[in-house]
């Protein structure tokens, strides 16, 4: 029989208030609160907290306060990562972010969702999630929302305020609610 955490990580319906999951969220919140309280005063110490919190951090990681996440250990960022002020990463499932990625202020990455069945949704007792994967050289504009299960290819630009509900391939500029391709990105590595 699977634990609630195993169900959560498998993308199955799981009990949000499972003792182990509550404990893990509380641990992450303590680290996040320490990180946010530090602000811009000590960049090295801030980065150490992020490295302790995230599942993987490559070379060159900068995250500005106020940052929020659920677990932290499901966030994997590669080299040269930047997240501006007030980003939220609800990492119930893994969030994979490639190299040279930029998140504007108030970007929100949501892997979690709730079941369609209203009896399971009552009181927020059950959740369900899907991974988010973001390729290399992606820039997500301020206030954009990335929904569960989305995969963004390499060299994608997401317009500010966009709501991304489906996946997109490489070398596109997307915008809107719901986001759609507005044009090909003319700046591509050869």
Cβ atoms of 83 and 67 within 8 Å: the answer is yes
* DSSP secondary structure, 27-45, as one string: HHHHHHHHHHHHTTS-HHH
Encoded tokens for 169? 């391939």
Residue 190 lies in a domain: no
Residue 189 lies in a domain: no
For tokens 């317009």, name the residue. 159
Residue 63 lies in a domain: yes
Per-residue pLDDT of the chain (190 residues; tens, 9 = 90+): 999 999 999 999 999 999 999 999 999 999 999 999 998 888 899 999 999 999 999 999 999 999 999 999 999 999 999 999 999 999 999 999 999 999 999 999 999 998 888 888 877 789 999 999 999 999 999 999 999 999 999 999 999 999 999 999 999 999 999 999 999 988 876 5
Residue 20 lies in a domain: yes
Residue 102 lies in a domain: yes
Encoded tokens for 123? 């009181």
Encoded tokens for 21? 């999951």
CATH code where residue 34 lies: 2.160.10.10
Residue 49 lies in a domain: yes
Antiparallel, parallel or unpaired: β 126-129 and 112-113 = antiparallel
Question: Which pLDDT does position 115 carry in this prediction?
Answer: 85
SS3 label, residue 10: coil
Q: What mean pLDDT, rounded, does the chain reach?
A: 95
User: Using one digit for the tens of pLDDT, what is the confidence trace for 5-37?
Assistant: 999 999 999 999 999 999 999 999 999 999 999
Number of domains observed in the structure of the chain? 1
Query: Could you list the active site residues?
Result: 114
Question: Whole domain around residue 84: which residue ranges?
Answer: 4-184
**Bridge partners of 184?**
172
Closest CA to 87 of 162, 31, 158, 36: 36
């Amino acid at each position: 029989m699977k634990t609630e955490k195993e169900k959560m990580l498998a993308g199955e319906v799981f009990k949000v208030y499972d003792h182990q999951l509550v404990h893990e969220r509380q641990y992450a919140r303590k680290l996040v609160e320490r990180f946010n309280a530090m602000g811009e005063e000590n960049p090295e110490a801030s980065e150490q907290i992020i490295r302790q919190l995230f599942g993987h951090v490559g070379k060159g990681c900068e995250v500005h306060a106020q940052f929020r996440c659920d677990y932290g250990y499901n966030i994997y960022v590669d080299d040269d990562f930047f997240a501006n002020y007030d980003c939220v990463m609800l990492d119930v499932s893994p969030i994979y972010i490639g190299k040279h990625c930029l998140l504007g202020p108030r970007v929100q990455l949501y892997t979690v969702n709730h079941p369609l069945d209203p009896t399971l949704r009552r009181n927020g007792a059950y959740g369900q999630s899907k991974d988010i994967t973001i390729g290399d050289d992606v820039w997500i504009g301020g206030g954009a929302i990335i929904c569960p299960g989305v995969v963004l290819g390499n060299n994608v630009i997401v317009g500010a305020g966009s709501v991304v509900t489906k996946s997109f391939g490489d070398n596109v500029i997307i915008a809107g609610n719901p986001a759609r391709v507005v044009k090909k990105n003319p700046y591509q590595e050869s």
